């Protein structure tokens, strides 16, 4: 079941012919494009996971254009301000409390 590529004339791999019986081109000259992987975070809170989808390049380009347009609409001023996570800012020290240590030792 040997067949030649109509573009370059080399023999088409028999495995390709088995999977695609009506193919007329080798893999080098196939018009099929590679798929693009898109990851999407699903769930909420502590129950999140990542889904990976394989999409056509054309669909991926449309999604990226929509995302770019959406990001243009979001005003950076509307984003919540970042709070400091520096441990010195959030962990109180003994100096932060009004405690009379002499009275507690007597009890």
Assess contact for 64 and 38: CB atoms under 8 A.
no
Distance CA 66, CA 102 (A): 66
Domain ranges of the chain: 14-75
Q: What is the pLDDT of residue 61?
A: 92
Assess contact for 1 and 22: CB atoms under 8 A.
no
Q: What is the pLDDT of residue 10?
A: 93
Q: What is the pLDDT of residue 28?
A: 87
Q: What is the pLDDT of residue 13?
A: 92
Q: What is the pLDDT of residue 5?
A: 92
Q: What is the pLDDT of residue 79?
A: 64
Residues in the chain predicted with pLDDT less than 50, given as ranges, are: none
Assess contact for 38 and 58: CB atoms under 8 A.
no
């Amino acid at each position: 079941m040997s067949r030649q590529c109509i573009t370059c004339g080399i023999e088409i791999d028999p495995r390709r012919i088995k999977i695609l019986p009506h193919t007329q081109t080798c893999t080098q000259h196939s018009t099929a494009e590679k798929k693009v992987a898109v990851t999407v975070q699903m769930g909420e809170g502590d129950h999140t996971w990542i889904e990976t989808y394989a999409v056509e390049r054309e669909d991926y380009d449309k999604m990226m254009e929509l995302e770019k347009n959406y990001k243009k609409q979001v005003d950076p001023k509307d984003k919540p301000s970042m709070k400091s996570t520096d441990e010195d800012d959030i962990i109180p020290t003994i100096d932060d409390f009004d405690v009379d240590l002499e009275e507690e030792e007597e009890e």
